[in-house]
C-alpha cells in the first residue's frame, strides 16, 4: 500500500505543479470571463482530459487495472467548466484509458465520464459551495467511491474486482480526494488573486480619473487668468495620495473685486476629495451671491453642516481684494494665518479665528480687513507646508517658511512658491510625504487706475454719471470728438438701464472706467432683468422713419460711436463693456 501511495502522490505533485503554473500565469486569462462560455468549457475540458491522460500514463498496472489519479482531471474540468467541461475531460481521459486495455477498462470509462459530468452539474448548481476545501474533499471521496462501485459492478469475476478494490481503495480514494481539494484551493486562490489585481487596476484607473477631475475643479492660473495687470497669482498643489482634501480658488465677484481662498479638508484620499469638491462649490456660490463676506461664510457653513453625514470638516482662509483700493476683507475658519510681505518685511497675518466649517451650525464668523500696497505679497498655505517633517520627525515650521520670503524684490509669485517647495523638499529629504501640500501666492501690483461709481438706476442720476465719465476722460487727455461720442453712448446705455433693468422698487448701477493701452474702457453693471441689447438686429437705416421698426437705433448708434461693444451675464449681473481708442 505504501508503494501505491508513493506513486500516486508523485503523479499528483506534477499535476498540481502544472496547474499552479497555468493558474498563476496569463496563459488562459484571455478566456476568463469570455462571453462564449462554451469555449471556456471546452478549453478546460481539454486541459482536464490531458491531466487524465497523464494520470493514465503515470499509473501502474495491478491485476489488469490501471491505478491512477486520472479522475482529478474530469473533476477539475467539471468544477471550472461545468457539465460540458466535465464530460469532455471524462471522455478524453476515459477513451485513453480504454486504449490501455485491462479488465477494468470499460468500467473506468463509464466511471470517469460520469464523474466529470456529475462534478460539472454539482459545480453549476453549487459552485461557491464547492470552493470550500472540505466540501471539495468530500466530493472527491464520493466520486472515487462511486468509481470503485462501478468497478465492482462491471468487472467480472466479482472476486477479482473485489480483490483489486481491497488493495487500492484507501490510497485511491484519499489521493484523488486530496488532489481534487488541493486543485480547487489553487484555482480559487489564483482566481481571487487575479480578481484582486483587476480590482486594483480598476481602482488605480478610477483614482487617476479622479485626480484629473479634482484638478479640473481648481482654477487654471496662468497669464490669461485672472488676467489683470494688478495681480501676479500662482498656485501649487501636491496631494499626499492620488487625490486629496486641499483646495484653493480664485474668482471675481465683480469687475473690481477678486476672491481668493485656501482650504484643508479633514482626512485623506477619495472621501476628502469629494468633500473638498462640495465645499469649494458651495463657498464660491455663497461668496458670489452674498456681498457680506462673514455672512457668506456663515451660510456656507450651515449648508455644509446639513450635508455632513461623514462628520468631516474643513479649515478655510478666504479674502476678497478690492482692486481699486487694495483693501482685503477676510475671514479665517480655523486655518493657518497667511504670510504677508509688506515693505520687504514678512510676517504672519494673524487674526482671531472662527470654528472650522461643517463643525457646528449657526456659527458667526468675524470679518477682518487690511489694506495692502503696490508690491505687497500675500501667501496662503495649508499645514502640509509647516508640518512637513524629516526623518528625525522635526517639523518644517513657521520660522523656516517665513525665511523663504527674504529678498522678495523682483520675484514673481511663481518663483516664491518654487522657492518654498524647494526648501520643503530639501528639509524633508527622503522622508515620505504624509499630508497634502498646497499654496496660493498673490503679488499686488497696485491700483491700475480703475474708477468706480455706484448710483441708483434712475434717469435723474444721468448728469452725475456723465460728470464722472468726463472727469476721467479729461484727466486722460481724451480728444473732444471722442469725448462727445463716449458721452452719447454713456447716456444711451445708462438711460436704458434706468428705464428697463428694474421694476418699480429700482436698483443700483455700477460704472467702471479705466485705461487699457490706448483705449478707454467703460463697464456698466446692473443686477436687473437679464437682457442682452446686442441680440436685437440693427435697424435698416436705408428705410424711411415711417418704414423702420421701433427701437434698436440707440444701441446701433453706440456701436457706431464706439470701437467695441460686448455683453456678458455673470454673477447675476448684466455687464455691458464699451471701448474707445483715443
pLDDT in tens, 108-123: 889 999 998 999 899 8
Q: What is the pLDDT of residues 397-424, one digit of tens each?
A: 999 999 999 988 888 999 999 999 999 9
Report the SS3 class of residue 271.
helix
pLDDT band at 387; cut points 50, 70, 90:
very high
Amino acid 26: pLDDT: 53
What are the helix and strand counts (H, E) for the chain? 14, 17
User: Which of 265, 238, 248 is CA-nearest to residue 436?
Assistant: 238
CA distance readout (Å), 239 to 149, 208, 260, 273, 390? 67, 12, 20, 10, 17
- Which of the residue ranges 242-256, 284-298, 525-539 has the most confident prediction, judged by mean pLDDT? 284-298
Q: What value, to the nearest 5°, has the Cα angle with vertex 364 and ends 362 and 370?
A: 155
Q: Kindly state the helix (H) or strand (E) to which residue 414 belongs, with its residue range.
A: helix 413-428
Amino acid 458: pLDDT: 92
Phi, psi values for residue 381, rounded to 5° = -155, 160
Does residue 213 carry a pLDDT above 80?
no
Report the SS3 class of residue 567.
strand
* % residues pLDDT > 90 (the chain): 43
CA gap 24, 197 in Å, rounded: 12
CA gap 462, 466 in Å, rounded: 6
Amino acid 210: pLDDT: 61
Does residue 557 carry a pLDDT above 70?
yes
Cell of 194: 487575479
All residues at 6 or more sequence positions from 402 whose CB lies less than 8 Å from its CB, including other chains: 339, 346, 347, 348
CA gap 29, 435 in Å, rounded: 39
CA gap 193, 199 in Å, rounded: 10
Exposure b/e, 95-116, CB count within 10 A at least 16 = b:
ebbeeeebbbbbbbbbbbbbbb
Amino acid 34: pLDDT: 47
| DSSP calls for 303-345 | HHHHT-TT---EEEEEEEEETTT-EEEEEEEB-PPPEEEETTE
Secondary structure letter of residue 449 according to DSSP = -
Residue found under cell 456656507: 300
All domains of the chain in start order, with CATH: 2-197 (1.10.1760.20), 218-444 (3.60.40.10), 451-581 (3.30.565.10)
What ranges in 25-67 are assigned the alpha helix state H? Answer: 37-58
Peptide bond into 506 cis (omega under 30): no
Exposure b/e, 224-263, CB count within 10 A at least 16 = b:
eebeeebbbbbbbbbbbebbbbbbbbbbbbbbbbbbbbbb
CA gap 218, 352 in Å, rounded: 28
User: Which of 328, 347, 329, 326 is CA-nearest to residue 338?
Assistant: 347
Amino acid 546: pLDDT: 46
Does residue 355 carry a pLDDT above 50?
yes
Find residue 571's DSSP bridge partners: none
Cell of 148: 470503485
Amino acid 346: pLDDT: 95
Residue found under cell 474708477: 451
CA gap 176, 91 in Å, rounded: 18
| Pairwise pLDDT comparison (195 vs 84), residue with the higher score | 84
Q: Of 172-176, 200-204, 207-211, 420-424, which gets the smallest average pLDDT?
A: 207-211
User: Which of 248, 245, 282, 251 is CA-nearest to residue 267?
Assistant: 245
Q: What is the pLDDT of residues 139-163, one digit of tens each?
A: 989 998 998 899 889 988 888 888 8
Can you give the pTM of this predicted structure? Answer: 0.59
Amino acid 76: pLDDT: 84
CA gap 408, 342 in Å, rounded: 10
Amino acid at each position: 500500500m505504501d508503494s501505491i501511495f508513493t506513486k500516486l502522490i508523485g503523479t499528483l505533485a506534477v499535476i498540481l505543479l502544472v496547474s499552479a503554473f497555468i493558474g498563476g500565469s496569463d496563459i488562459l486569462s484571455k478566456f476568463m470571463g469570455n462571453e462564449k462560455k462554451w469555449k471556456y468549457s471546452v478549453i478546460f475540458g481539454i486541459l482536464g482530459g490531458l491531466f487524465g491522460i497523464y494520470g493514465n500514463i503515470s499509473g501502474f498496472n495491478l491485476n489488469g487495472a490501471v491505478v491512477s489519479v486520472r479522475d482529478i482531471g474530469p473533476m477539475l474540468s467539471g468544477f471550472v467548466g461545468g457539465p460540458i467541461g466535465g464530460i469532455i475531460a471524462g471522455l478524453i481521459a476515459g477513451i485513453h484509458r480504454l486504449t490501455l486495455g485491462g479488465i477494468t477498462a470499460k468500467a473506468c470509462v463509464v466511471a470517469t465520464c460520469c464523474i466529470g459530468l456529475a462534478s460539472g452539474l454539482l459545480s453549476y448548481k453549487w459552485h461557491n459551495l464547492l470552493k470550500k476545501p472540505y466540501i471539495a474533499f468530500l466530493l472527491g471521496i464520493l466520486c472515487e467511491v462511486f468509481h470503485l462501485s462501478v468497478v465492482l459492478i462491471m468487472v467480472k469475476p466479482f472476486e477479482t474486482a473485489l480483490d483489486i478494490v481491497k488493495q487500492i481503495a484507501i490510497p485511491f480514494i484519499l489521493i484523488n480526494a486530496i488532489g481534487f481539494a488541493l486543485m480547487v484551493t489553487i484555482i480559487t486562490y489564483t482566481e481571487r488573486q487575479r480578481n484582486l489585481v483587476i480590482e486594483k487596476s480598476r481602482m488605480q484607473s478610477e483614482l487617476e480619473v479622479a485626480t484629473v477631475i479634482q484638478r479640473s475643479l481648481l482654477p487654471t492660473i496662468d497669464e490669461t487668468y485672472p488676467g489683470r495687470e494688478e495681480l501676479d497669482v500662482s498656485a501649487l498643489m501636491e496631494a499626499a495620495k492620488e487625490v486629496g482634501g486641499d483646495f484653493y480658488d480664485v474668482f471675481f465677484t465683480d469687475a473690481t473685486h477678486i476672491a481668493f481662498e485656501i482650504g484643508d479638508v479633514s482626512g485623506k484620499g477619495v472621501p476628502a476629495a469629494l468633500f473638498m469638491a462640495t465645499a469649494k462649490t458651495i463657498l464660491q456660490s455663497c461668496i458670489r451671491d452674498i456681498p457680506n463676506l462673514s455672512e457668506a461664510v456663515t451660510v456656507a457653513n450651515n449648508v455644509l453642516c446639513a450635508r455632513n453625514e461623514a462628520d468631516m470638516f474643513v479649515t478655510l482662509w478666504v479674502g476678497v481684494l478690492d482692486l481699486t483700493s487694495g483693501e482685503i476683507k477676510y475671514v479665517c475658519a480655523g486655518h493657518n494665518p497667511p504670510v504677508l510681505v509688506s515693505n520687504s518685511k514678512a510676517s504672519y497675518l494673524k487674526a482671531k479665528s472662527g470654528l472650522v466649517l461643517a463643525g457646528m451650525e449657526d456659527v458667526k464668523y468675524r470679518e477682518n480687513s487690511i489694506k495692502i500696497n503696490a508690491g505687497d505679497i500675500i501667501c496662503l498655505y495649508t499645514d502640509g507646508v509647516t508640518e512637513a517633517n524629516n526623518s528625525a520627525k522635526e517639523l518644517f515650521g513657521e520660522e523656516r517658511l517665513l525665511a523663504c520670503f527674504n529678498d522678495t524684490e523682483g520675484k514673481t509669485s511663481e518663483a516664491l512658491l518654487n522657492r518654498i517647495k524647494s526648501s520643503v523638499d530639501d528639509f524633508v529629504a527622503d522622508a515620505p510625504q504624509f499630508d497634502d501640500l498646497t499654496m496660493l501666492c498673490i503679488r499686488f501690483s497696485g491700483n491700475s487706475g480703475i474708477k468706480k461709481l455706484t448710483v441708483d438706476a434712475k434717469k435723474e442720476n444721468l448728469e452725475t454719471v456723465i460728470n464722472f465719465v468726463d472727469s476721467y476722460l479729461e484727466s486722460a487727455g481724451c480728444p473732444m470728438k471722442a469725448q462727445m461720442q463716449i458721452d452719447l453712448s454713456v447716456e444711451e446705455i445708462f438711460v436704458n438701464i434706468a428705464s428697463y433693468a428694474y421694476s418699480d422698487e429700482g436698483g443700483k448701477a455700477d460704472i467702471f472706467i479705466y485705461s487699457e493701452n490706448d483705449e478707454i474702457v467703460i463697464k456698466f453693471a446692473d443686477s436687473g432683468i437679464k437682457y442682452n441689447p446686442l441680440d436685437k438686429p440693427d435697424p435698416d437705416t436705408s428705410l424711411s422713419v415711417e418704414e423702420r421698426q421701433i427701437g434698436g437705433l440707440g444701441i446701433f448708434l453706440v456701436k457706431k460711436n464706439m470701437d467695441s461693444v460686448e455683453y456678458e451675464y455673470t454673477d447675476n449681473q448684466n455687464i455691458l463693456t464699451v471701448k474707445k481708442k483715443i
